[in-house]
Amino acid sequence: MGSLDQLRAELDRVNTSLWRESFSSPKPMAQLAEEVERRFGNGIAPEKDLIAVAVRQFHRSSQIESFRDVKLVCYGVATEVMPDRILLLRNPDLVGKLLHIVEGVRPQARKYRRCFQALLTAYFEYKPESLQDGAHRSWLSMRTFLRAGVSSIRHEPTPEWAEKVIEHRNLFDDDPCERYGKQVLEGNLSQVRDAFTTIGISRNSWVQADVFMAAVRAACSSDDYQFRRYVDALLGLLKDNPAIQVSGVKCILERYARIDSHPDHAALRIFSIDLLGNPLLISNAPRWDGVSAEARKMVSDWIKLELIEQFFEMLSHDAATDSRRLQFWAEYVSHIENVWFVLGAGARSNWSPDFKKLRTLMGDQAINLEGATNGNNAFVMKIGRLLVVEFGETGNAAYLFDARNPPFQLGGALHLREDLKNSRNLGSLKHVDGHEKWEQKFRRAISNHIGVTQPGWESGEKRGLNEWAQKEAIYRSGGVFAPSDFDKVFRTFCADRGLRFIDQRAKGGNLTVYANADNPKISGTLGQWGFKFERRNGVWVKDR
CA 489, CA 227: separation in Å to the nearest integer? 15
SS3 call for 3: helix
Max CA pair span of the chain: 135
Residue 508: which residues within 8 A CB-CB, separation 6 or more?
Answer: 544
- Kindly state the average pLDDT of the residues 55-80: 94
Whole-angstrom CA distances from 483 to 81, 260, 328, 474, 489 are 66, 13, 20, 12, 8
Contact present, 136 and 130 (Cβ < 8 Å): yes
Tens of pLDDT, residue by residue over 132-169, are 688 999 999 999 999 999 999 988 889 999 999 999 99
For residue 280, pLDDT over 90 is answered with no
DSSP letter for each residue of 200-222: T--TTSHHHHHHHHHHHHHHHTS
Name the packing angle between helices 206-220 and 178-185 (round to 10°).
70
Least confident of 141-155, 322-336, 448-462: 448-462
Residue 437's pLDDT band (cuts 50, 70, 90): very high
> Per-residue pLDDT averaged across 104-120, rounded?
95
| Secondary structure class of 337 (helix, strand, coil) | strand
pLDDT at position 393 is 84
Helices 189-199 and 178-185 meet at what angle, rounded to 10?
140
**Structure pTM?**
0.69
Q: d(Cα 454, Cα 171) in Å, to the nearest integer?
A: 53
Alpha-carbon span 449 to 539, nearest angstrom:
42
In one-letter notation, the amino acid at residue 386 is: L
Return d(Cα 418, Cα 203) in angstroms, integer. 62
State the distance between the two ends of the chain, measured CA to CA, in whole angstroms. 115
The answer on pLDDT for 39 being more than 80 is no
Q: What is the pLDDT of residues 189-236, one digit of tens each?
A: 899 999 999 999 998 899 999 999 999 999 999 999 899 989 999 999
pLDDT of residue 17: 57
Query: Which has the minimum average pLDDT: 28-37, 136-145, 323-332, 445-454?
Result: 28-37
Q: Is the pLDDT of residue 19 over 70?
A: no
pLDDT band at 267 (very low <50, low <70, confident <90, very high): very high
Distance CA 536, CA 440 (A): 34
- Residues 6 or more apart in contact with residue 381 via CB below 8 angstroms: 329, 332, 336, 338, 339, 387, 388, 390
Give the angle 284-285-287 at the CA atoms, nearest 5°.
70
